[in-house]
Chain A
Amino acid sequence: MEQCGSLRKEPLQACLDANLKRIREISGGSTDIIIREVRIGRSEIKMAILYTEGLADKKVITDFILESLMLAIKETEIDLKISDRSHVSRVLRDFALTVSDTNEVSDFDGLFAFLLSGDAVILVDGSPCGIAASSRGWKDRGVSEPAAQTVVRGPRESFTETLRTNTALIRRRIKDPHLWLETIQIGRVTRTDVAIMYIKGIANEKIVQEVRDRLKRIDIDGILESGYIEELIQDKTFTPFPTVHNTERPDAAAAGLLEGRVVILVDGTPFVLMVPALFAQFLQASEDYYQRWDFATLIRQIRYISLFISLLVPSMYIAITTFHQEIIPPRLLISLASQREGVPFPAFVEALLMEITFEILREAGVRMPRAIGQSISIVGTLVIGQAAVEAGIVSPAMVIVVAITAIANFVIPAFSVGISIRMLRFGLMALAASFGLYGIILGVIVIVLHLCSLRSFGAPYMSPFAPFHLAEQKDTLFRLPLWALFSRPRAISQNDTIRENNEHPHPESKQNS
C-alpha cells in the first residue's frame, strides 16, 4: 500500500511524456486504459486523451472530445488563443470541449479516480493540470422488474447496479430540491461510490450525521454489496434481527425518505439500505399502500399471524404432543397418536429432521442452476412429502407442520426478518423439547426482551409497540385509510411531522359547487 500513499500526494508534472510514463507505470500498462496522443491547432500542442475502454462511451470521446479538439478549433479564434500556451487547458475547458461536465485534475490520485470511473482525461503538454471530461457510459442491465419484492399492483421498476441510475429513480419520484445527495468513496481498493440520500428538513439531522460518521469510520479494502455497509454500520452485531432495512424498490426507498429515513445507496448493487429500521417496518410491504386500506389491514394482520406461526408452530407441536397431551381434544389426540404409530423418533428429532430437510431444499433451490430448479421441487415434495411418510419415518402431521411453517415464513415481506425467524425457530424447538410450553414461553419472553433492547440509529426498534404510541398504531397492525395516516413516525424524526391535511373524503355538498 506504500505506492498508494505516495500516489495520493504525487502531483502531475508539466511534461506530458513524464506524466504518461508515470501513468503506464502505475497502471502496469493495463490494456484497457487507452492513451491517445494528438497534436492540435496550428501550434501543434501535444496532448493526450486517456480513457478506460468499456467504461467510457467511445461515441462521446470521438464526437465531442476528439472532433472538437482536432477539427472544430482549427482556424478559429480559439486556435489563436491557445497558441499562447500559458493557459491552454483553461481555454479548452471554457471554449472548446463540447461535453457536459468537466473537472480539473492536478494529481495522479484524482486522475485515476476519474479515469477508472469512465471519464476521459485530457493532459496538455506543458501544463500540470489535466481536464477530466465526463464520458461515462458502460453496459448495464437496465431497469428491470424487482426479483425479490414483487407486487401485484404498484410500480414494476427495480434498482439496478448503477448508482447514478438508482439516484435518478429516486429523484424521479421526489422532485424536491431538499432531497439531498452526498457521495463518498469507501473501500481502499474498490473505491466504491456510496451515496447518502435524505430530505433536508424531514430527516433527523442527528441521524444523518450519525450515518455520515459511521460510514467515514469504515476502513476496508472493498465494498462489493450493500451488505458490507450494513454489517459495518449496524448498531448491534450479536442479534438475529436486522437493524438496517434494505429494499430493491425505488418506491419503497422514496416512501422511506418521506418518513424521514436516510437511504444509503451503494454502487454495484440494486439493494439500497434504509435507516433507522423499525421492526414494524419489516412487516410492511409497499403494496399495502397501493391496495385499499381494508384489504391492506387484513393482509397486514395475516402477516403478523404468519410471523407467529413460522416462529412457534413446530415448537408448539413438539411441546403439546410430548408434554401436554391433555390439552388436545380427544379425537384430535387419537388421530395424532395413530399417525405417530410406528414412527421411530421422538417428536423433536422428527421435527428437526424435517425442518433441516426443508432448509436444505430451500437452500438448494436458491443455489441451483435455474434450469434444474424445477426438478428440486419435485424431488422435495416426493422425498419429504410422501416417501418419508410412507416409509413411516415421519408422521403426516409433522409434514403439515413443516409445510405451514415454511409457507408462513414466505409471507413475511422482508427476507432478512424471515431469516431471523428461521433461526430462532430451532432454538424454540429445543426449548420445547426439553421444557414444554414453559420453555417456549420463556424463550418468547427472552426474544421480546431482546427486541425491546435493540435500537437502530437511535430509534427504539420495537417502536411504536414499545414504547407504545397510540397514534402511531395507525400503520402497524392496521393500515388506516390514507387520509388518516397524517403524521410521520415519531421514532424516526420529529421534524415536520404532519404529512397531509385531508378530510375524510365525501361528495361535495351543493352549497360549495
Chain B
Amino acid sequence: MRKPITMACLFLLLLVVLTGCWNRRELNELAIAVAMGVDKKDNDYLVSIQIVNPGAVAAQRAGTDTAPVITYSTQGTSIFEALRRTTTKSPRKIYLSHMQVIVLGKEVAEEGIAKVLDFLSRDHEFRTDFFLVVSKDATAEEILKTLTLLEKIPANKMFHSLQSSNTAWAATGKATLDKLISDMTSEGKHPVLTGITLDGAKDIAGTKENMQRIDSRALLRYEGLAVFKKDKLVGWLNEEESKGYNYIQNEVKSTAEYVACPNGGNIALEIIRTNSEMKGKVVRKKPEVAIEVRVEANISEVQCNMDLAKDKTIRGLEAKAAEKIKGFMQQAISKAQHKYKADIFGFGEAVHRAEPGFWKKAKQNWDEEFVGLDVDMRVDFNIRGLGTISNSYLETKEE
C-alpha cells in the first residue's frame, strides 16, 4: 500500500517541477495586440501598439459605436520599456502572440532596424509569422491610427492586403521576421521590405467618419519596395522595379502586364505561372549571373484589331512581352547597382553556391563587385490561352 502512495506523491511533485513556462491568463485579461509600429522620437522609440477591442469586433455585437481597435503610443528608451509603460494606459497586459504586422517608421529604418529586430526575435511571446513593412510618407503611428472598412481590424487589413497583392499583383513582398533576418545577415544579399503609405486626410484617419464614407478619405496602401543596405534603409524601388525584383526572385505568382498593339491600343496579359532560376558562374575571374525566367500567360483584354488565331501574331506578342519583363528586371538591377549599390537580389549567394572558392575572396568587397556585375537575362514568354472569345469585336465591326 505504501508504494502506490509514494509513486503518486512523486508524480505530483514532477507535475509541479517539470511544467516550465507556467503562465495562466484568462482570455478577458488579455489585450490582444495585432499590430505594432516603431518610430523615432527625441532619441527614444515611440512604440504604437494596436489592440483589438473584442466586444466591438465580434459578429453578434457588430454595429456598436466603439472603435474596433485601440492604438496606444508610448515613448521609451527600448521597445520593451515602452510596451511595459503602455500598461499605464491599457487596463490589460499586452499579449503579443497574435501580432499580424509590424510597421517600421522611416526614420527607424534609415537608422538601422537591427536593434528593433533583436527584441522581436528575443521575446518569447512573438509567433514569428507576422509581416514587416516600412512606412513611407507617414509615421508608423499614423499608419496604426487609421481605421479601415471591410476588415474591421486594420492589422488584418494590412495582413490580407499584403497577401492578396502579393499573389495577384506581384509588386509587393511578403517579408516575415525569419526571412528578413536571414537576408540581413547574409553576405551575398541585402533585404527589401514592402512600403506602406497613408493616402488622403491624415487628420480624420482614426475617426468614425473615415469608416462611414463609401470612399474612405484616408486609406492605407502598399507602395514599392524599400531597399536596405544591411539593416539601413537606402532607398525605394518603384512599382515596375518592384515587379522586376519579384520576377528575379521567383516570387511572382500572378500579375497583369500589357503590350502595345502595332496599330494603337493595348493588349492586357494575365500572368498565370512564372518560374525563374538564378545561376552564378565565374568566367575569367569575373563573376557572372544568368537569370532565366519562364512565364505563362493568358490574354485577358484586347483593345485593338489583331488576328489572334494566327500563330505569328501570338509569337510576336510573346516576344514583346518578354522584352517588357526583361526591361523591368533591367530597371531594378541597374537601380540597385548604380543608385543604391546594394545586392538585394542575392546574386552574391548565387555566386557563392556556384564557386565557393572564388566567393571567399570576393565577399569582402562584394558590394563593389556587384556594381559592375554582368547579368545575363533570358525570358521565355508563352501565351497559353485567349480567354472565352477569340478575336476582338473591333475586327468584326470593320468588316
Binding site for B on A (CB under 8 A): 321-323, 325-326, 330-331, 333-343, 346-347, 435-436, 438-439, 442, 446
Contact = CB atoms under 8 A, between A and B. Distances in A.
Contact of B27 (A330, A347, A436): A347
Contact of A326 (B55, B97, B100): B97
A341 B15 contact: no
A233 B19 CA distance: 41
Nearest to A342: B28
B89 interface: no
Given A321-B27, A347-B26, 4 more contacts: A326-B97, A334-B52, A340-B27, A435-B19
B24 A337 contact: no
Given A322-B26, A325-B25, A342-B28, A334 B97 contact: no
Interface residues of B, number: 31
A341 to B, nearest CB: 5
B61 interface: yes
A340 B97 contact: no
Contacts of A436: 19, 22, 24
Nearest first, the 4 closest Cβ-Cβ pairs linking A and B are: A338-B58, A338-B54, A326-B97, A337-B54
Given A326-B125, A335-B59, A338-B58, A435 B15 contact: yes
B55 A323 contact: no
B83 to A, nearest CB: 17
15 contacts: A322-B27, A323-B23, A323-B24, A325-B30, A326-B127, A331-B156, A333-B27, A334-B54, A335-B59, A337-B52, A339-B58, A340-B26, A341-B55, A347-B27, A435-B22
A436 B20 CA distance: 11
A335 B58 contact: yes
Given A325-B95, A340-B27, A442-B15, A334 B32 contact: yes
A337 B59 contact: no
B54 A439 contact: no
Contacts of A438: 18-20
B98 A330 contact: yes
Given A326-B125, A330-B98, A341-B28, A439 B55 contact: no
B247 to A, nearest CB: 32
B123 to A, nearest CB: 12
Contacts of A442: 15
A337 B19 contact: no
A340 B127 contact: no
Interface string B229-264: 000000000000000000000000000000000000
Interface string B128-165: 00000000000000000000000001001000000000
Contacts of A346: 26
Contacts of B95: 325
B6 to A, nearest CB: 15
A337 B30 contact: yes
Nearest to B53: A338
Given A330-B98, A330-B100, A435-B19, A336 B127 contact: no
A337 B27 contact: yes
Q: Which of B11, B26, B61 has the most CB of A within 10 A?
A: B26
A343 B28 contact: yes
B262 to A, nearest CB: 50
Contacts of B379: none
Contacts of B153: 334
Interface in B329-370: none
B34 interface: yes
Q: Which of B24, B27, B54 has the most CB of A within 10 A?
A: B27
A439 B15 contact: yes
B94 interface: no
Nearest to B56: A338
B272 interface: no
B371 interface: no
A352 to B, nearest CB: 14
A38 B95 CA distance: 97
A333 B25 CA distance: 13
Nearest to B124: A326
Contacts of B15: 435, 439, 442
B57 interface: yes
Nearest to A238: B4
Nearest to A443: B15
A293 to B, nearest CB: 42
Contacts of A334: 32, 52, 54, 57-58, 153
Interface string B189-204: 0000000000000000
A190 B24 CA distance: 57
A32 to B, nearest CB: 50
Interface in B84-103: 95, 97-98, 100
B98 A326 contact: yes
A322 B25 CA distance: 5
Interface in B1-46: 11, 15, 18-20, 22-28, 30, 32, 34
A399 to B, nearest CB: 13
B25 A338 contact: no
A336 B52 CA distance: 12
Contact of A340 (B19, B28, B98): B28
Nearest to A321: B27
A330 B20 CA distance: 25
A346 B32 CA distance: 18
A330 B97 CA distance: 9
Contacts of B97: 325-326
B168 to A, nearest CB: 22
Nearest to B100: A330
A342 B29 CA distance: 10
B36 to A, nearest CB: 14
Contacts of A333: 27, 32, 98
Nearest to A336: B27
A78 B262 CA distance: 132
Contacts of A326: 97-98, 125, 127
A432 to B, nearest CB: 11
B26 A338 contact: no
Contacts of A342: 28
A348 to B, nearest CB: 9
